[in-house]
Structure 1
Amino acid sequence: MRSDLRLVRYFVAVAEELHFRRAADRLGIAQPALSRAIQTLETELGVALFVRSNRNVQITPAGQVFLERSNEILNLMHRATEDVRNAHNGRVGTLRIGYTDFAIAGPLPTLLKDFQERQRQITLKPQHGVTLMQLNRLAEGQLDIGFVTGPVNKNGYEEHPVQTEAFVCVCADSHRLAVRQSIQLAELANEDFVHGSSTDWQHFYDFLIPLCRRAGFTPRIVQEAFNTAGIFGLVSCGMGVTVLTEKVCCGLPPGLVIIPIEDVTERLTTTAIWRRDHMVGPTRHFVEYLRGLPNPSSSI
């Protein structure tokens, strides 16, 4: 069979109108041309699709089956056309997103959900990783966008702040400071600290260590953990205290206490980062979405 989509569309118009003149007007062609097209289609199929009389047109049982299949074909072509256009415009594909403990404890889940509702044909693939790991994956093309502790200020990359949060102290509820409403950072000078490893948590340490040194001490880190869950577990065991940020401390396990640090006004920023040469497809749409959000500093 050599019929093309043009003949299929002509057939559907006649089948829906059951009137050649109205169908011809709807298609914007002459009625004789439409009649010849339907005859060509019937010849190719070897069946009558319509029963014609001077008064009306009726669709045959074979025509009814062909109408159902024709609608399926046209709907499939419509979806294929939309998919091709969306793919060309970057609205179809996969977006690989890295995140830290700090990012996932903040507004990131809400942002991803909102973006997914706007761009349903983009598949989101979040991946946990510390800042250093995410930067390596971005460089190797294994991530499209990362949510890291920043700013990073890396050549060839662009960034956008997503959240800022205050530093707080976390200790066991049996610790001597647990009854305090707030503390000054210098009061932790003689405490044992629990934190992430200096290698994996390098970017967080770039903020924490200068804060402590300005308060007159260098934190004595006696235990290290892979992530914040591990840190909380060690702190709850009485291994030491930790300084983290307010959002990551929401929903603490039992036995832990958050204490505000009154003399630290600096805030930790989580920033979205991506390669400047990778602003295509889903990444471009996600960056445009992020740039349309309110500045996180305005909510402080």
Structure 2
Amino acid sequence: MRIDLRHLRAFEAVAEELHFRRAAERLNLAQPALSRTIQQLEDTVGEVLLLRSNRRVELTEAGRVFLAGSRTIFEQLANTVEQARKAGAGQIGQLRIGYTDFAVSGKLPSILDGFHRRHPEIKAELIFGSTQHQLEHLKEGAIEFAFITGPLSEPNIDSLEVQSDRFVAALSERHPLAGRSQIALSELAKEPFILGGMSHWSFYRRHLDALCIKAGFLPQVAQEAFNSEGIFGFVAANIGVTIHLETASNYNRKGVVLIPLQDVDTRISTLAAWINTDITPVQEKFIEYLRQYSAAAQLDVPPPVGS
């Protein structure tokens, strides 16, 4: 015979009351039925758990150990029920979130911090990837959210703008134009460019090429780098210049100056994207927070935090 919860509850009642009649009344059971349940439990355990006499009931040493273990089981069960309810309500769980250089140097840290304060039991696993790779991972179910470079037009994928950046020129502090307050993009036409490699920066490179063509040239690529840190390293070494986003100011790279482009009004968007089907409660909580964050940004008020 297996031990189930009714055996444990019956034993706990008798062990606490040390009286079969009172325990039976507490459980709303007939006393003979309670006695049989305790006997079944002892037969299964193979030990006497309770010493009975006409005048008193006592726990044996085996009974005391079994009572402590029973109480632990009930505590674990109560906790499991509570955790399941929280999971069903989207209060606990895990999110896999992809991100780009632009997102992590921009608004993503603020978004994650505010969301964690509101939902501390929802953990985030962060995965770096290009826009194209993130979209592939999103469709495969490898991540639930992607912070990517827009624009985006994909079936079954919803998105929300969380960041909008101007373009800036990044030059070595030793560059002849480094002291300028503004630069025309066309002034960089003959400069060697440091750019992110096409395998990870293709979305951004399309934006940049369009800007440069409008200014009358295509950038002459002297060196490619994997990420922003590498790009700024080569710029600091005065190997070339680059066009980046204003979020680059958060890198604070020594030896690099950022200068606004006087003739470029175009902005580039960072989007939070997700598959709009089979949304879990935890995902819904994050989407709700993203919408609140985006609305606050549009009103130019502090982002939401806390409950």
Give the C-alpha shift of residue 274 in structure 1. Answer: 1.8
Q: Tell me the amino acid that sits aligned with residue 142 of structure 1.
A: A
Distance 1:72 1:226, change over 3 A: same
* Secondary structure at 1:154 match in 2: coil
- Structure 2 gaps of 5+ residues are 302-307
RMSD: 3.3
Q: How far apart, in 2, do the equivalents of 1:183 and 1:22 lie?
A: 89
Distance 1:269 1:50 in 2: 75
Q: What is the letter of the counterpart of residue 200 of structure 1?
A: H
- Helix, strand or coil for the counterpart of 2:75? helix
Aligned equivalent of 2:298: 297
- In structure 1, stretches of 5+ residues that fail to align are none
Aligned to 1:258: 258
Mapped to 2, the partners of 1:44 and 1:134 lie a distance apart of 55
| Residue aligning to 2:77 | 77
Q: Find the aligned partners of 1:93 and 1:65 in 2 and give their Cα distance.
A: 35
Which range moved further: 31-40 or 73-82? 31-40
Paired amino acid for 1:287: I
Distance in structure 2 (CA, Å) of the matches to 1:114 and 1:20: 55
The CA distance in 1 between the partners of 2:23 and 2:6, in whole Å, is: 13
2:199 and 2:49 mapped to 1: Cα distance? 77
Paired position in structure 1 for 2:192 = 192
- CA distance, structure 2, for counterparts of residue 184 and residue 154 of structure 1: 35
**Aligned-partner Cα distance in 2 for 1:18–1:31:** 16
Displacement of 1:236 in angstroms is: 1.4
Q: Alignment partner of 1:176: what SS?
A: coil
- Structure 1 residue 104, shift from structure 2 partner: 1.2
Distance in 2 (CA, whole Å) between partners of 1:26 and 1:159 is 57
Which stretch of structure 1 is more off in the superposition, 161-170 or 286-295?
286-295
Q: Which residue of 2 aligns with 1:152?
A: 152
What pairs up with 1:201-240 in 2 under 5 angstroms? 201-240=201-240
| Alpha-carbon distance in 1 for matches of 2:266, 2:16 | 69
CA change 1:53–1:268 in 2 (3 A) is farther
The aligned counterpart of 1:8 is: 8
Please state if 1:170 is matched with 2:198: no
Identity of aligned residues (%): 42
Tell me the amino acid that sits aligned with residue 96 of structure 1.
R
Q: C-alpha distance in 2, partners of 1:143/1:209?
A: 30
Cα distance in 2 for residues equivalent to 1:187 and 1:299 = 34
Q: Separation in 2 of the partners of 1:14 and 1:265?
A: 79
Cα deviation for residue 87 of structure 1 reads 6.0
Q: Is the 8 A contact 2:235 2:242 kept in 1?
A: yes
* Distance in 2 (alpha carbons) for counterparts of 1:171 and 1:19: 85
Give the deviation of 1:47 after TM superposition.
Answer: 0.9
Q: C-alpha offsets along residues 80-137 of structure 1, whole Å, 9 cap, x if unaligned? A: 44555566666666533211101111232343355456263x5533221111221222
For structure 1, which segment, 244-253 or 100-109, has the greater mean C-alpha deviation from structure 2 after superposition? 244-253
Q: Does the CA contact (< 8 Å) of 1:169 and 1:258 recur in 2?
A: yes
Report how many residues are paired.
297
> Which shows bigger deviation, 230-239 or 6-15?
6-15
Q: 1:57 to 1:206 in 2, by over 3 A?
A: same
Which residue number in structure 1 is paired with residue 304 of structure 2?
none
Contact 2:106 2:250 in 1 (8 A): no
Q: Deviations over 1:214-271 (max 9, x none)?
A: 4454434333222112211221121221111122332332211122334434332211
Residue in 2 that maps onto 1:47? 48
1:21–1:214 Cα change, 3 Å: farther
Correspondences of 1:23-34 after superposition (within 5 Å): 23=23, 27=27, 29-30=28-29, 32=31, 34=34
2:131 matched to which residue of 1?
131
Going from structure 1 to structure 2, the CA distance change for 1:231 and 1:2 (only over 3 Å counts) comes to closer
1:98-117 counterparts in 2 under 5 A? 98-115=98-115
Counterpart in 2 of 1:287? 287
Higher deviation after alignment, 190-199 or 164-173: 190-199
1:14–1:160 distance in 2 versus 1, CA, 3 Å: farther
TM-score, structure 2 as length reference: 0.79
Aligned amino acid, residue 175 of structure 1: H
For the residue of structure 1 that corresponds to 2:183, the secondary structure is coil
Query: 1:47 is aligned with what amino acid?
Result: V
Please state if 1:64 is matched with 2:49: no
Q: TM-score, normalised by structure 1?
A: 0.81
What CA distance in whole angstroms lies between the structure 2 residues aligned with 1:17 and 1:212?
Answer: 84
What does the per-residue CA deviation read over 1:43-92, in whole Å, with 9 as the maximum and x for residues that have no partner? 554414255665x7543322211111112222333344455556666666
Distance 1:2 1:250, change over 3 A: closer
2: CA distance, partners of 1:194 / 1:133:
22
